[in-house]
């Protein structure tokens, strides 16, 4: 729901948050091919919105911010980038199809011999597992020269600048104040997807109208914020504090005004665990490569995601607005499904099934003591499935959009 105050004229004409009473945020974790899991969840949510408001309804019409890291950043961009007739480039179902058609070329299994662990290990020691050429060319093909300021709603995408050794957040909100961060969406997506040991880092420059330039040396945003929920909420809070007219009716510290859907790409906590006794014998190699995975990368991803979920859950509970926050995550992945780069046809189809099954599971949150997800129990001792919660959220999103449209007309 970006407005002309935060982006170019090519953006959507949806009413701004100030015309309503809720700020809506969608967040998507990083996780490689496991992006199929949130893609399936998003497809379901969009179908619910279409049942309420017609077949032309798109995710970008209902969210003030779509934030994503790594593979989640690519999904966020696909949902928000302008396509034909000023509609989003991809509908929800198109994202699923994109992954099914292209993952095998992004992560070609024959390169390292998926049945040859020794060859995979040699690859890991001599450079990134994948050269990233197809991914880069595909992203440039679909996004072209579209800039961050041109998205149909605000996007927030975390990356990490390895030269500066600090996170860099690309936000539609900031493109006017800092034109040098108004990068091409293709460069941002390539940068946030450059997972250490998997894909090469990405270097690019930006220029403003006065000829000033800025360089970026980016790797995967997952090293800073694999779950971008707090990054997105922080960006909105900054806009309120800076008196952005789109948010002039909101209090910067009142998260009861936020409606947040945060979707994970799955984890494998219940089966792929390590022990202190085992890790005490590890050297650098074992931390980077163990049982066909990278424990160090895995730990960073899952710890980052869980800490954000725990914090957000507590904040919304403390404000007695728990119903405004929905985290959808499956921590029971096993075998190939837990991999970020297993692009076999069987595994991709299996990830789609996992996403479908996740809809039927109870809405859950992380238990800090056990590290596992536990069902959310309502005041009456009952639980709801993720599908049921999404149906309710879809109704809330639809009502909010209609409220904004009515208020905009009445104030004209």
Residue 10 has pLDDT above 50, yes or no: no
Percentage of the chain lying above the pLDDT 90 cut:
66
pLDDT for the residue numbered 193: 97
> Are residues 109 and 343 in contact, defined by beta-carbon separation less than 8 angstroms?
yes
Residue 377 has pLDDT above 80, yes or no: no
pLDDT for the residue numbered 5: 40
Catalytic residues: 70, 220
* SS3 call for 330: coil
Give residue for tokens 């129990």. 377
Burial level of 235, CB count in 10 A (0-12/13-18/19+)?
buried
Which is nearest to 153 in space by CA: 228, 80, 235? 80
- pLDDT tens digits, one per residue of 68-123: 999 999 999 999 999 998 899 999 999 999 999 999 999 998 644 444 566 666 66
% helix, strand, coil for the chain, step of 5: 50, 15, 35
pLDDT for the residue numbered 379: 60
What are the φ and ψ backbone dihedral angles of 351, each rounded to 5 degrees? -65, -35
Which is nearest to 299 in space by CA: 314, 311, 312, 286? 286
Confirm whether pTM is higher than 0.75.
yes
Which is nearest to 178 in space by CA: 6, 354, 367? 6
What is the number of alpha carbons within 13 Å of residue 10 lying toward its C-beta? 16
């Amino acid at each position: 729901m970006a407005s002309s105050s935060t982006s170019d004229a090519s953006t959507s004409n949806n009413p701004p948050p100030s015309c309503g009473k809720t700020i809506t945020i969608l967040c998507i974790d990083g996780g490689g091919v496991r992006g199929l899991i949130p893609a399936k969840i998003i497809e379901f949510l969009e179908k619910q919105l279409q049942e309420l408001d017609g077949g032309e309804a798109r995710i970008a019409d209902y969210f003030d911010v779509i934030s994503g890291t790594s593979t989640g950043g690519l999904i966020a961009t696909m949902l928000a980038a302008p396509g034909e007739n000023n509609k989003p480039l991809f509908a929800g179902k198109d994202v699923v199809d994109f992954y099914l058609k292209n993952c095998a070329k992004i992560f070609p299994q024959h390169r390292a011999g998926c049945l040859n662990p020794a060859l995979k290990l040699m690859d890991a020691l001599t450079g990134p597992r994948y050269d990233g050429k197809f991914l880069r060319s595909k992203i440039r093909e679909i996004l072209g020269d579209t800039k961050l300021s041109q998205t149909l709603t605000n996007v927030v995408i975390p990356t990490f600048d390895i030269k500066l050794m600090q996170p860099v957040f690309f936000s539609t909100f900031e493109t006017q104040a800092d034109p040098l961060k108004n990068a091409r969406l293709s460069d941002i997506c390539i940068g946030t997807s450059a997972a250490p040991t998997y894909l090469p880092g990405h270097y690019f420059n930006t220029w403003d109208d006065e000829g000033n330039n800025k360089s970026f040396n980016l790797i995967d945003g997952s090293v800073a914020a694999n779950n971008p929920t707090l990054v997105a909420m922080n960006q909105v809070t900054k806009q309120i504090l800076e008196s952005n007219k789109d948010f002039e009716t909101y209090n910067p510290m009142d998260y009861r005004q936020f409606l947040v859907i945060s979707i994970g790409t799955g984890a494998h906590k219940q089966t792929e665990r390590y022990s202190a006794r085992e890790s005490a014998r590890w050297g650098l190699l074992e931390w980077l490569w163990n049982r066909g995975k990278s424990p160090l990368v895995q730990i960073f991803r899952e710890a980052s995601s869980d800490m954000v979920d725990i914090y957000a859950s507590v904040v919304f509970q403390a404000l007695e607005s728990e119903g405004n926050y929905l985290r959808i995550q499956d921590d029971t992945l096993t075998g190939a499904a837990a991999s970020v780069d297993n692009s076999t046809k069987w595994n991709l189809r299996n990830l789609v099934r996992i996403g479908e099954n996740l809809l039927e599971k109870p809405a859950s949150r992380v238990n800090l003591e056990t590290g596992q997800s536990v069902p959310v129990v309502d005041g009456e001792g009952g639980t709801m499935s993720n599908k049921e919660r999404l149906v309710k959220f879809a109704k809330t999103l639809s009502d909010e959009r209609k409220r904004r449209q009515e208020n905009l007309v009445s104030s004209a």
